[in-house]
Amino acid sequence: MDFTVIICTYNRSGNLPGCVECLAQQQDIGGCDWEVLIVDNNSSDDTRKVVEQLSKDSSIKLRYAFEPQQGLNYARNRGVRESDARYFCFVDDDIKVRPDWLAALYQALESNDADTVGGRIHLDPDIQLPPWVTGEVRGFLGYQDYGETPFWMDGRTQYPYGGNMSFNRRVVDKIGMFNPKLGRKGEGRKRGELFKGAETDYFHRLAATGDARFYYEPRAIVYHQVQPHQLERKYLLTIHYNAGFQKAYFDPTSHRRRLLGIPLFLLPQCGRAMLKYVGQLLTRGPNRAFRQLMTVGHFLGTMAGYRKASREAAKS
């Protein structure tokens, strides 16, 4: 097998037909032996039944795999193990791809000898965004666009996003699998489930090898069908709080100067972030100040993560 498209899903069987339909419309992919692998992350809905029907009706190769351990990275790792293709990629079940998407990824991997290739992720143009989703905030809904020109990414500040990322199989030999301690659990609606950016850790590990090749292919475009709950302020505030919490909780650094387990340098930083938010709120209004409120949430989550890690270390 040349290429496996891996879709990790949990209790969103209704998204699968539309996602698969777009994949079935791929063009100019002659000569590439490819398949779609849907990884069911222990769903309680009719995901298995839907996939079985899709595999009968679809014109493309489509397989089903089951991962009982809850968590996006567990499902991703299952997909990698189930595939024996030279290349594999991930798309979310709420993603719809363009007809030339797979050909663009395949050609970029082949012609550039890249370890990983990422493309553009646009938000569904039919979805009306609330006024507080401005500029940079779109990125936290999955939006990514580095422009029309292909280039080599550095893997630290520039790397693919999870909704449109592909890999050469040799990457697994270099750095292994995704870290299952990180990433979304379940439907990602509760604070204890909603962890984003699990792929960031993977790309940073890959970049740390010193010889990794990250390529940006602008022709590979997908569209994120943003879910209604993702357009609530609480969703993005939770993402940032949890991102800070997760980073701090797993931080191996030993900080000597602490207060209640929290490194002292964080306290003035958090205070300045709060003051900046208040200033923007008064001068620019709540919609324009929302991005700064997300930053405040990240600091609060970071302090909570250090605090919990400190309490657990004291008990052990």
Q: Is the alpha carbon torsion for 151, 216, 251, 241 positive or negative?
A: positive
| Contact call for residues 92 and 121 (beta carbons, < 8 A) | no
Q: What DSSP designation does 94 have?
A: T
Residues of the chain whose pLDDT is less than 50?
A: none
The Cα 59–Cα 284 span in angstroms is 53
What are 164's two structure tokens?
């449109």
Compute CA 306 distance to the chain's CA centroid, rounded to the nearest angstrom: 24
Compute CA 147 distance to the chain's CA centroid, rounded to the nearest angstrom: 20
Compute CA 224 distance to the chain's CA centroid, rounded to the nearest angstrom: 12
The total of other beta-carbon atoms located within 10 Å of residue 33's CB is 11
The Cα 107–Cα 98 span in angstroms is 15
Query: Which amino acid does the sequence have at 81?
Result: R
The total of other beta-carbon atoms located within 10 Å of residue 61's CB is 14
For 88, 164, 194, 251, the CA distances from 242, given in Å and listed in that order, are: 29, 23, 7, 14
Phi, psi angle pair for 180, to nearest 5°: -70, -10
For domain 3-227, the CATH class is alpha beta
| Contact call for residues 218 and 120 (beta carbons, < 8 A) | yes
Parallel, antiparallel, or unpaired: how do β-strands 214-224 and 151-153 relate? antiparallel
What are 232's two structure tokens?
């609530």
Query: Which pLDDT does position 270 carry in this prediction?
Result: 95
Tens-place pLDDT, residues 5-48: 999 999 999 999 999 999 999 999 988 999 999 999 999 999 99
Altogether, the residues listed in the chain come to a count of: 316
For 167, 202, 203, 217, the CA distances from 206, given in Å and listed in that order, are: 11, 6, 5, 19
What are 47's two structure tokens?
């995901």
| Contact call for residues 294 and 139 (beta carbons, < 8 A) | no
For the chain, the domains span 3-227, 233-315
Q: What DSSP designation does 108 have?
A: H
